[in-house]
């Protein structure tokens, strides 16, 4: 019985630690979205219902917390970017599904992505995370429009993929949403025209 009790206590501590860690991540995500900038650790701790010191028991530093928050928001294997039936269906259907997913992902990730972009200038780990995501997204793009891209000559195929990929980058979406102050429908129209222009020859 004693051993069972000890195991139960350990399991309980682990579960509580996991709950608190998740609460810190959720607080980081929510506060960043609300105030549009990186929140103070004190504010994160207060929102999560844990102590200031507890935050640094779960995360070594602010960079690790930021990366973990982005990872939590994106989900396993970047589920936030998942496109149903990737590469399947008519061109029009694939285009609309792709645009809808990417705009939705931008809206959800924008506050944290702005922080990550600034951190990438001085934090190699953030740069690595960005590069990993960008590689994943370019591969996804190539798969979604493989039929059209494959019908282009090799030089045109490479240029078309890069041009379309550039327009779906966070920085491009940010420009359309914040500088041009476009809503989702107008952003979708710009992206739609852009993709069609580069795949028109296909």
Q: pTM of this prediction?
A: 0.78
| 3 state DSSP class of 4 | helix
DSSP per-residue letters across 127-181: HHHHHHHHHHHHHHHHHHTHHHHHTS-HHHHHHHHHHHHHHTSHHHHHIIIIIS-
| Contact call for residues 61 and 67 (beta carbons, < 8 A) | no
| Contact call for residues 92 and 148 (beta carbons, < 8 A) | no
**Confidence tier at 4 by pLDDT (50, 70, 90):** low
Greater model confidence, 165 or 121: 165
C-alpha distances in Å from residue 188, one per residue of 114, 145, 167, 183, 192 = 21, 17, 11, 9, 6
Greater model confidence, 202 or 140: 140
Residue 32 above 70 pLDDT?
A: yes
Greater model confidence, 185 or 12: 185
Residue 1 above 70 pLDDT?
A: no
Residue 7 above 60 pLDDT?
A: no
| 3 state DSSP class of 89 | coil
Greater model confidence, 83 or 37: 83
Q: How far apart, in whole angstroms, are the C-alpha atoms of residue 86 and residue 136?
A: 13
Q: What are phi and psi of 200, to 5 degrees?
A: -60, -40
Q: How far apart, in whole angstroms, are the C-alpha atoms of residue 183 and residue 186?
A: 5
Give 101-150 pLDDT, tens digit per residue.
999 999 988 888 888 888 777 878 778 888 888 999 999 999 999 999 99
Give 38-95 pLDDT, tens digit per residue.
899 999 999 999 999 999 999 998 888 888 888 777 665 468 899 999 999 999 999 9
Q: How far apart, in whole angstroms, are the C-alpha atoms of residue 24 and residue 85?
A: 34
The sign of the dihedral angle between the CA atoms of 89, 91, 95, 96 is: negative
| Contact call for residues 166 and 193 (beta carbons, < 8 A) | no
The sign of the dihedral angle between the CA atoms of 15, 17, 22, 26 is: positive
Within 13 Å of residue 196, how many CA atoms lie on the same side as its CB?
12
Q: How far apart, in whole angstroms, are the C-alpha atoms of residue 45 and residue 42?
A: 5
């Amino acid at each position: 019985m004693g051993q069972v009790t000890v195991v139960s206590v350990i399991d309980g501590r682990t579960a509580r630690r996991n709950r608190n860690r998740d609460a810190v991540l959720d607080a980081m995500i929510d506060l960043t979205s609300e105030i549009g900038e990186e929140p103070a650790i004190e504010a994160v701790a207060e929102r999560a219902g844990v102590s200031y010191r507890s935050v640094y028991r779960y995360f070594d530093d602010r960079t690790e917390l930021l990366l973990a928050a982005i990872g939590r928001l994106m989900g396993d294997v970047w589920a936030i970017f998942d496109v149903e039936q990737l590469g399947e269906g008519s061109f029009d259907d694939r285009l609309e599904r792709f645009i809808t997913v990417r705009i939705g992902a931008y809206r959800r990730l924008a506050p944290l992505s702005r922080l990550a972009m600034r951190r990438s200038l001085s934090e190699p780990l953030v740069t690595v995370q960005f590069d990993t995501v960008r590689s994943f997204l370019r591969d996804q793009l190539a798969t979604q429009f493989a039929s059209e891209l494959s019908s282009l000559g090799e030089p045109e195929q490479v240029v078309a993929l890069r041009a379309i990929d550039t327009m779906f980058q966070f920085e491009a979406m940010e420009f359309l949403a914040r500088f041009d102050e476009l809503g989702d429908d107008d952003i979708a129209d710009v992206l739609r025209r852009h993709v069609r222009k580069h795949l028109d020859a296909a």
